[in-house]
């Protein structure tokens, strides 16, 4: 118990420490300024991982992931989906802003595409790029596959997996890993079954791993849902998947 508490405390502060090694990269979507973050190995020719943050924008969980990915030999870029001046300050504004991009999935895919361009400009090998996303970002990871963006694979970590059923299921060539907490109340059985059907209809290379005793934000040390053991397993599964498809 004490070890878990100490581990949680370390992880809660590590994002701030690691962020000192992340460089801000400013880019544009028309007149909207976007501010992403890239790891300190930018400029080298290495496989790349685009990180899509949760619904409040770039946070410590995304920064910690970037730092670990750099240690694993990847250039990591954290996307700014909302843009300067539009970062949510509370759950209500986050729900509204994230909801806009979930509904206007084309706008979401465009912001992801712009971030992918920045990842490539910072040295990532163009045919060795993956996307991982947390929560709202997990939705974006799936949208990267649905939008046929130029990535090898995607990882949706406790993402919203539902899709408007008026959208047709299409062929999916991107490899997909979904990390799903068993007690996530935001994911209905219908959402789950529809995703499985979508993947099968698209003849995708896919897998879903479900984590026991885990609620929605089980990987975030700052969340009341945090489950250290399952978070560690999920991250190890992420790294194994990335190693398989990128190295």
Mean pLDDT of 122-144: 98
Q: How many Å apart are CA 51 and CA 53, to the nearest integer?
A: 6
The pLDDT score that the predictor gives to residue 18 is: 53
Distance CA 112, CA 50 (A): 9
Which token pair is 170?
């299409």
Mean pLDDT along residues 147-172: 96
Rounded average pLDDT over 208-233? 98
- Nearest-angstrom CA–CA distance, 83 and 86: 6
Strand order of the β-sheet with 75-78 is 23-29, 32-38, 75-78, 46-52, 124-134, 153-157, 175-181, 206-211
Q: Which tops the pLDDT comparison, 12 or 48?
A: 48
pLDDT at 6 > cutoff 80: no
Q: What is the mean pLDDT of residues 136-158?
A: 98
| pLDDT of 7 strictly over 90 | no
Amino acid 5: pLDDT: 45
pLDDT greater than 80 at residue 1: no
206 Cβ contact partners less than 8 Å away, ≥ 6 residues apart: 172, 175, 176, 177, 178, 199
Residue 83 φ/ψ, nearest 5 degrees: 95, 155
For residue 117, pLDDT over 80 is answered with: yes
- pTM of structure: 0.93
**pLDDT score, position 49:** 99
> Model confidence at 4, in pLDDT bands (50, 70, 90)?
very low
pLDDT band at residue 233 under the 50/70/90 scheme: very high
What are the structural domain ranges in the chain?
23-163+187-246
Average pLDDT, the chain: 93
For residue 191, is pLDDT > 50?
yes
With CA atoms as reference, report the closest residue to 65 among 135, 122, 127, 112.
135
Q: Is the pLDDT at 15 greater than 90, yes or no?
A: no
Higher pLDDT pick, 132 / 6: 132
pLDDT greater than 70 at residue 75 = yes
Measured distance CA(103)–CA(227) in Å, rounded: 30
- What DSSP state is assigned to residue 169? P
Q: What is the largest CA-CA distance in the chain?
A: 50
Closest by CA position to 50, among listed 110, 127, 103, 117 = 117
pLDDT, tens digit, 9 for 90 and up, residues 37-49 = 999 999 999 999 9
Q: What is the pLDDT of residue 197?
A: 98
**Exposed / middle / buried, residue 53 (Cβ in 10 Å: 0-12, 13-18, 19+):** buried
């Amino acid at each position: 118990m004490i070890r878990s508490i100490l581990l949680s405390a370390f992880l809660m502060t590590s994002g701030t420490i690691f962020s000192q090694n992340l460089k801000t990269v400013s880019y544009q979507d028309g007149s909207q300024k976007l501010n992403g973050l890239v790891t300190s190995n930018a400029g080298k020719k290495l496989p790349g991982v685009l990180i899509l943050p949760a619904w409040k924008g770039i946070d410590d969980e995304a920064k910690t992931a970037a730092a670990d990915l750099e240690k694993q030999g990847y250039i990591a870029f954290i996307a700014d989906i909302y843009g300067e001046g539009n970062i949510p300050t509370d759950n209500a504004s986050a729900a509204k802003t994230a909801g806009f991009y979930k509904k206007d999935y084309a706008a979401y895919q465009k912001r992801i595409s712009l971030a992918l361009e920045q990842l490539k400009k910072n040295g990532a090998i163009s045919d060795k790029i993956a996307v991982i996303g947390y929560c709202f970002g997990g939705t974006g990871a799936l949208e990267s596959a649905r939008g046929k963006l130029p990535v090898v694979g995607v990882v949706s970590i406790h993402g919203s997996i539902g899709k408007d059923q008026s959208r047709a299921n299409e062929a999916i060539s991107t490899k997909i890993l979904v990390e799903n907490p068993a007690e996530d109340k935001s994911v209905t059985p219908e959402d789950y079954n529809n995703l499985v059907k979508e993947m099968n209809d698209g003849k995708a290379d896919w897998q879903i791993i479900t984590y026991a005793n885990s609620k929605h934000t089980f990987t975030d040390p700052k969340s009341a849902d945090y489950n250290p053991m399952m978070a560690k397993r999920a991250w190890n599964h992420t790294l194994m998947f990335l190693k398989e498809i990128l190295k």
